[in-house]
Structure 1
Amino acid sequence: MTHITLNNGIEMPLVGLGTYQLSSEDAQASTTYALDNGYELIDTANVYVNERAVGRGMRASSKAREEIFLETKLWPSFFERATAVDETLERLGTDYIDLMILHQPAGDIRTGYRHLEEAYKAGKVRAIGISNFPIEELRRLLGESEIKPSLIQVECHPYFPQTELKALLKEHNIALQAWYPLGGRGNASIMSEPVIAEIAKTHGKSPAQVILRWHVQLGHSIVPGSKTPSHIAENLDLFDFELTNEEMAQINGLDKGEPIFQRTPEVEHFFATFAPDVDSEK
């Protein structure tokens, strides 16, 4: 399985390129390289301040726009702006976005989601998603919204597989997309787990590929980020092997029940008040 079908009938690739923490120069080059080497899905966000670069990278690639699944995320300081979606389209240099996501459950969530619903009805957005919403906030949104979200992007990896959340997602046919699919940049602890190393050796794959394959077999969409061509290529090379039921169970056994990223009142305040300088990107 290389694609999934969202709850509104839109087909989405399982594996994409994430551009978090990439400079404009790196985001543009990585986007072009990824699209020219088998990728179809690109993930960016207002707060990454590299949307213009991603747009340039898309246009410089060998793929036509309709061959690319483009997703971006609307930051809370933009939720109340009726022009936020149009401004994002302008930065990306495209007439539509395949998936647009509310980036954080902070600020005026209801207004932000209503703007996404309006953009969806207008054909500017093909699917709506959310990111980082806790279960109680997701339940509230489902009860208040007109259009059900198609996807939620959350921290998810073998140490924190989002078991409780996935039960609710299954009930509403909402897809899960993992950020931190490998446990976060600079965090090698999951990949150094003996069970991961042994499975990697068995299949002749890297520990990262084993973990990403675990995600794929669970039906998770993943957007690992990199600016290194060899890593970008490796992260897509997941479909010529399959983990056994026993190997999947062994990886599932790594669950610690706690996320790596901890949300605090201070973090929530930052998310609600920070305004990224998207105009600084050229």
Structure 2
Amino acid sequence: MTTGYRATKLGIDNSLIEAGLNYFDLMLIHWPMQDDLGTYRALEEAYQAGKLRSIGVSNFNRAQLGEITANFQTVPVLKDLAAKYDHTTAQVMLRYLTQRQIMVIPRSTNPAHMAANINIFDFALTAADLARVQALDEKFSLSGWPSSMTLDEDY
């Protein structure tokens, strides 16, 4: 377990060495700890150095997530789209997938989240916004994806 800038920076480097890899596809702060800003700063620097392909957080509440997004450059395109369409980032992603005719099976036991998951048909992403989300896909896979999983470039 690492928390704070120095411990996280060292932990990333040590983990890469132990795994024999040049980068990790994803690294998250699993839950809020004592120094989330320092921890996220280490993640962002590793992302910018190419050691991490994606970074993020898990189990953060709205205020904690707001603190991260207010202090760092590496935040999702989805946040901008959510503000533009006055919906949540989850709703934007669900709408993106349904507009692309990709089957979605969201999971929630929270009635408010279930209602939000259904409430995605009162807006449509523009072609430009669809392209912004599509551009997040780095089209990189370790291996073994069936050809049927490859998406066309056409919308």
- TM-score (structure 1 length as normaliser): 0.29
- TM-score (structure 2 length as normaliser): 0.50
Higher-strand-fraction structure: 1
Instruction: Flag the structure with more relative contact order, 1 or 2, with Cα contacts below 8 A and sequence separation at least 6.
Output: 1
